[in-house]
Chains A and B, each alone.
Chain A
Amino acid sequence: QSVLTQPPSVSGAPGQRVTISCTGSSSNIGAGYDVHWYQQLPGTAPKLLISGNSNRPSGVPDRFSGSKSGTSASLAITGLQAEDEADYYCQSYDSSLSGSWVFGGGTKLTVV
């Protein structure tokens, strides 16, 4: 059971727009901690996609965007491409217990 909740899967056709939600609580996202997103292609290490809720690192296409509101965050992908098929994870910090970095359970994006 992950501290941050993501849908297990989403799908979309090439060219379409999809969103992936990440729901937390008052001890993590709702406490003001930033949300970050990672893309994991099959058989590879995760790669930073969005930092600080909505910032794209150099080299990440502007088709990817992030937002945060209240206790939730979202990743949007527009102009879906076959190469976007991957697992996506949100990550934040949780101040409960002794404090820890936490991940969502991951969302498998299928480009149909």
Chain B
Amino acid sequence: QVQLVQSGAEVKKPGTSVKVSCKASGYIFTIYFMHWVRQAPGQGLEWMGIINPNSGATSYAQQFQGRVAMTRDTSTSTVSMELSSLTSEDTAVYYCARAGIPAINPINWFDPWGQGTLVTVSS
């Protein structure tokens, strides 16, 4: 079955960076775009960006431009998201979520989602 398994929880100091990974299985990795979405404690969902696992091309939400980098490793079917210059406002659960259908046009839904990775930023 299709599965996304994310790396474990992280505790980081302000000003540092964090890298979260997401290993995909059960489908052809390169034909489905992958998104990253975060959720601060008690808050809603916030889209961060998208990566094309085939080409490596990315598009980031404006509020994260210059601070986020999404990469992929096709040999291990893994995508990663690195967020730098962390502040306490980056404390959140970070999810990877696959595009719902394989398509040149990635404008569709998110399914499935990874289990989430809690990133805590604290001095």
Q: Which residues of A contact B (CB under 8 A)?
A: 2, 33-34, 36, 38, 45-48, 51-52, 57, 89, 91, 93, 97-106
7 additional A-B residue pairs with CB within 8 Å, beyond A51-B109, A99-B59, A103-B44: A33-B107, A34-B107, A38-B45, A48-B112, A102-B47, A103-B47, A106-B44
A46 CB contact (under 8 Å) in B45, B46, B61, B108: B45
Q: Which residues of B contact A (CB under 8 A)?
A: 35, 37, 44-47, 50, 59, 61-62, 95, 97, 100, 107-116
Q: Are A34 and B108 in contact (CB under 8 A)?
A: yes
- Is B113 in contact with A46, judged by CB distance below 8 angstroms? yes
Q: Which of A52, A93, A100 has the most CB of B within 10 A?
A: A100
- Are B113's CB and A45's CB within 8 A? yes
Q: In the assembly, what is the distance between CA of A103 and CA of B116, in Å?
A: 17
A104 adjacent to B44 (CB under 8 Å): yes
Separation in Å of the B24 CB from the closest CB of chain A?
Answer: 15
B117 to chain A, nearest CB (A): 11
Q: Are A91 and B95 in contact (CB under 8 A)?
A: no
Min CB–CB distance A76 → chain B (angstroms)? 18
Q: Is there contact, CB below 8 Å, between A48 and B109?
A: yes
14 A/B residue pairs, CB under 8 Å, sorted by A: A34-B108, A38-B45, A45-B113, A45-B116, A47-B112, A48-B109, A91-B45, A98-B59, A98-B62, A100-B47, A100-B62, A103-B47, A105-B44, A106-B44
Q: How far is the CA of A100 from the CA of B35 in the complex (A)?
A: 11
Q: Which residues of B contact A48 (CB under 8 A)?
A: 100, 109-112
**Across the A-B interface, the 8 shortest Cβ-Cβ residue pairs:** A36-B109, A48-B111, A45-B113, A106-B44, A103-B45, A101-B47, A51-B109, A105-B44
Q: Which residue of A lies closest to B4 (CB)?
A: A45
Distance to closest chain B CB from A98 (angstroms): 7
Cα(A103)–Cα(B37), bound, Å: 10
Whole-angstrom distance between the Cβ of B114 and the nearest chain A Cβ: 7
What chain B residues lie within 8 Å of A2 (beta carbons)?
A: 44
For B99, give the chain A residue with the smallest CB separation: A101
Q: Which residues of B contact A101 (CB under 8 A)?
A: 35, 47, 50, 107, 110
Set of chain B residues within 8 Å of A102, measured between Cβ atoms: 47
